[in-house]
Amino acid sequence: MDQDSYRMLRENVDEFCARNVEPVSLKMEREGMASDLAKKSGTQGFNAAIAAQSNGGSALDRESYLTILERAARSSPSFAMFLLMQNSIAGRILEAAGKTGEIGEIASGAKTATVEFLSLNESSSAEYSINVSNGKATGKLRNVIFPSADLIVFLHQDSLYLARGSDGTEPLPVLGFRGLGLGDVVFRDRPVEKLSENGGAKLIMDALKNAGREVSAVALGITGRSVDMAVEYSRVRKTFGRPLKDYEPVAFQLAGFKAQEEELRSMIFFSSVQDGYIKPLATDLARRATKIALQVHGGYGYLEDFGVEKFYRDSMTLSIYFGPSRSDMRNLSREVYGEESGVI
Amino acid sequence: MDFDFTEEQVKFREKAREFAEREFSSEVARKFDREEKYPEEIRKKAYAEHVIDYSDPWKVLIAIEELCRQDAGLGISATVPYFGEEVIMLFGSDHLKEKYLQPVNEGKSLMGLAVTEPGGGSDVAGLKTTARKEGKNYIINGAKMFITNGSIADFFVMLVRTSEEEKRHHGLSAFVVESRFPGFKANKLKGKLGVRATDTAELELNNVVVPEENLIGEEGKGFYYIMTFFNISRIFVAGQGIGIAQGAFDRALSILRRKGKAYSEKEEIQFAVAEMATQIQAARLITYKAASYLFNFKPDPTITSMAKKYAAETAVFVAEKALEVTGVDGISSDLERFYRDAKILEIWEGTSEVEKLIISRNILKEAQ
């Protein structure tokens, strides 16, 4: 696509979010994502943005997809995470498994999907208690992002399975991406379909690894919007008779974050720098920027109504869910040293 | 220099910790956090069991630390019914002390401090709520924002403007304003990021008639009284910070122990543990130093502001670090609440920026 096309796409996503996401953003944080948003998003081609057209997808190039994620994260990181899950995680795995019908359903928003992948994170010690036999699953999947999704992909003894729905969910305390939630998923003799015989863990890990730039795009959106909100607030909020923006620490910090945001944008969209190098910078920047953005808002920043605290929660959650984990950093160290390093 | 607490204080700490562990279970803390409900029964129990003991300020600090260590929302709720008491104690008439402080000290009523306004936080002297003298009364009009205990307190120590002519901070006075006075209205603020069990409200004051005997001290001295109070209360906020930091650290250690040696003995984890422990210890030391000066009647506002700033930042740092090292296990546990709770400490009772201004101004003044 040419630059005009990217600009039009950006405007299209912004318009969609202004009309359909912003008005329900707070409600989404409190009550979870409504199913009609998935359908509306489906009509725009966002839910299967990178899937093949023959499977019902939009077959967009990576830059377009990254643009969608970044702009969506500016309105609602939960919505961006939903798109990331549909496209980069569940979508990729289902498409690789040949589940073209399901991709079509995801594309239209008729169905939503999730993949249980936090159990593969080395910081997770949740006991795995699923039993699969004769095509039926019984037990509990722990720490599932978006546990209420219609299609649930999970790992059992290195095989991947697909469950349509569940027999209940048990919500967990959830710091971020509250629109999707976090919880345990219960199966009781739930019919499941095997997606892959072996190598299931690798399929999931590959999907996660290949989503490094996409995670960075979400972090970029979180950074950009929270800093913009702080900039706007600091123009109108006065203290000691002067707007906050007139004070050096406020202006310099926010200006510095805008500079870093632009630097990150260049890396994500216009550089050949590897994903593994970008993600640690992106998630770190999002965490630092959102903390300052909240601080600039003072007491008002602490209230959900002002919409800035969610970025603070989501940036932290993004770095826990997607890293950089210690294994990411070990991979990065291996790149730098050309051999195993950071193992003690 | 003695770094040890007395035997009585050590026993009191054990008692406060036992109370918090018994009453603030994970389920209870999550429930109050979810429902954003003030824990009135817990407050009463804390009073009945003498967990709050005003006879020794060290015991108050210890109680705040230990209760917040278990849960900040519940811990602050249980230790804040007396918020603002020192203003009346230090500057109020005997009549005010008897009428208002006695029931508070007997656990029969709750109070609050109403200073912040919708348009101003750090700029206390810029407040706009007015009190106009009419005969033997003052008529108060205006609004207050982010008032702790706002919708549950029986009365407030309220800072208002009594003169437009005087220099900004010389035109301020402090009053006791009862919530049952006609024209007083409180709107509870819901949807806070953290400390959701605590009660926070916006106050509307529409021609509230306050008898002149409710003026605290002298007219025009309110700013001085409140600043004096902040130099006391900031030490207790630092105590909240130590409690939250220690509580987050406890939980991180517990998760790491569960994960086993293979995970927790990696150097990246070990370094993080050392950083958290060191910062908590440093925050505790500076807070105790500030407290020691204050409790021996020689307060040092510079050290007090350093303690408040450093302890607040320590709470945020440790909660964040604890989540980093525990990852998925931490984020789906009570640690996520500590992360949300900690951030308010860098905002209330003087933002970290205000504390930095106080510290630097005092140091630069001394250097001249």
Which of B17-31, B116-130, B220-234 bottoms out in mean pLDDT, i.e. has the lowest?
B116-130
A169 and A134, same structural domain? yes
- Establish if A127 belongs to a structural domain: yes
Cis bond before residue B118 (omega within 30° of 0): no
Going by C-alpha positions, the residue among B173, B126, B175, B157 that lies closest to residue B232 is: B157
At A160, list the tokens. Answer: 């991947």
pLDDT of residue A323: 82
- Establish if A342 belongs to a structural domain: no
pLDDT of residue B119: 80
Going by C-alpha positions, the residue among B303, B247, B298 that lies closest to residue B276 is: B247
- Establish if A343 belongs to a structural domain: no
Q: Rounded to 10 degrees, what is the CA torsion of A94, A99, A102, A106?
A: 40
Residue that terminates a domain, selected from A162, A178, A203: A203
A95 and A178, same structural domain? no
CA distance A53 to chain B (A): 36
pLDDT of residue A240: 87
> Least CA distance to B338: which residue of chain A?
A175
- Establish if A344 belongs to a structural domain: no
The half-sphere exposure of A240 on its side-chain side, counting CA atoms within 13 A, is 6
| pLDDT for B102 beyond 90 | yes
A344 contacts on B by Cβ (under 8 Å): 266-267
Between strands A238-239 and B130-134, the pairing is unpaired
Which range in B53-62, B166-175, B299-308 is most confidently predicted, on average pLDDT? B299-308
The half-sphere exposure of B1 on its side-chain side, counting CA atoms within 13 A, is 3
Q: How confident is the model at residue B166 (pLDDT cuts 50, 70, 90)?
A: low
Whole-number Å distance between alpha carbons of A36 and B195: 33
A189 and A94, same structural domain? no
Higher pLDDT, A197 or B62: B62
CATH number of the domain encompassing residue A186: 2.40.110
DSSP state of A325: -
Q: Is A238 on the interface with B (CB under 8 A)?
A: yes
CA distance A112 to chain B (A): 23
- The fraction of chain A above a pLDDT of 70, given in percent, is 100
pLDDT of residue B47: 92
pLDDT of residue A132: 95
Q: Is B118 on the interface with A (CB under 8 A)?
A: no
pLDDT of residue A65: 98
pLDDT of residue A344: 85
Rounded to 5°, angle at Cα B301 from B300 and B303: 70
pLDDT in tens, B292-317: 999 999 999 999 999 999 999 999 99
Whole-number Å distance between alpha carbons of B246 and B157: 32
Give me the interface pTM, i.e. the ipTM.
Answer: 0.94
Please judge whether B327 and A123 are an interchain contact, meaning their C-beta atoms are less than 8 angstroms apart.
yes
Based on C-alpha coordinates, what's the Rg of chain B?
21
B193 contacts on A by Cβ (under 8 Å): 294, 302-304, 309, 312-313
DSSP state of A87: I
CATH number of the domain encompassing residue A265: 1.20.140.10
User: Quick one: how far is CA A137 from the chain centroid?
Assistant: 27
A274 and A328, same structural domain? yes
Give the B window 248-287 contacts with A, CB below 8 Å. 258-259, 263, 266-268
- Establish if A246 belongs to a structural domain: yes
How many domains does one find in chain A? 3
Give the mean model confidence (pLDDT) for residues A162-171.
97
pLDDT in tens, B222-237: 999 999 999 999 999 9
- The fraction of chain A above a pLDDT of 90, given in percent, is 88
A128 and A93, same structural domain? no
Give the mean model confidence (pLDDT) for residues A64-93.
98
Residue that terminates a domain, selected from A203, A224, A239: A203
- E-strand stretches of A265-322: none
Going by C-alpha positions, the residue among A120, A116, A211, A219 that lies closest to residue A172 is: A116
B127 contacts on A by Cβ (under 8 Å): none
CATH number of the domain encompassing residue A86: 1.10.540.10
Q: Is A171 on the interface with B (CB under 8 A)?
A: no
**Amino acid at position B364, single letter:** L
A142 and A71, same structural domain? no
Which of A80-84, A222-226, A325-329 bottoms out in mean pLDDT, i.e. has the lowest?
A325-329
A189 and A222, same structural domain? no
- Establish if A29 belongs to a structural domain: yes
| pLDDT for A23 beyond 90 | yes
| pLDDT for B274 beyond 80 | yes
A250 and A195, same structural domain? no
- Secondary structure class of B206 (helix, strand, coil): strand
B349 is catalytic: yes
Q: Return the residue in A26, A30, A239, A329 with the most chain B beta carbons within 10 A, the one to mutate for interface testing.
A: A239
Domains and CATH numbers, chain B: 7-79 (no CATH), 86-220 (2.40.110.10), 224-367 (1.20.140.10)
pLDDT in tens, A133-161: 999 999 999 999 999 999 999 999 999 99
* Candidate list B349, B353, B355, B366, residue with the active-site label: B349
Helix (H) / strand (E) containing B155: strand B155-161
Give the B window 333-362 contacts with A, CB below 8 Å. 333-334, 336-337, 339-340, 343-344, 346-348, 351-353
A189 and A271, same structural domain? no
A217 and A333, same structural domain? yes
Please judge whether A298 and B328 are an interchain contact, meaning their C-beta atoms are less than 8 angstroms apart.
no
- Establish if A196 belongs to a structural domain: yes
A88 and A53, same structural domain? yes
Range of the domain at A29: 3-112
pLDDT in tens, B147-163: 999 999 999 999 999 98
pLDDT in tens, A277-291: 999 999 999 999 999
pLDDT in tens, B193-230: 999 999 999 999 999 999 999 999 999 999 999 999 99
Residues 6+ apart with CB under 8 A from B84: B111, B112, B113, B156, B157, B229
Residues 6+ apart with CB under 8 A from A252: none
Q: Is A337 on the interface with B (CB under 8 A)?
A: no
Contact in structure between B338 and B319 (CB atoms under 8 Å):
yes
pLDDT of residue B1: 79
- Establish if A184 belongs to a structural domain: yes
CA distance A166 to chain B (A): 20
* Residues paired with residue A161 on neighbouring β-strands, in sequence order: A154, A194
Residue that terminates a domain, selected from A155, A182, A203: A203
A125 contacts on B by Cβ (under 8 Å): 258-259, 263, 329
A333 and A218, same structural domain? yes
Q: Is A202 on the interface with B (CB under 8 A)?
A: no
Contact in structure between A136 and A190 (CB atoms under 8 Å):
yes
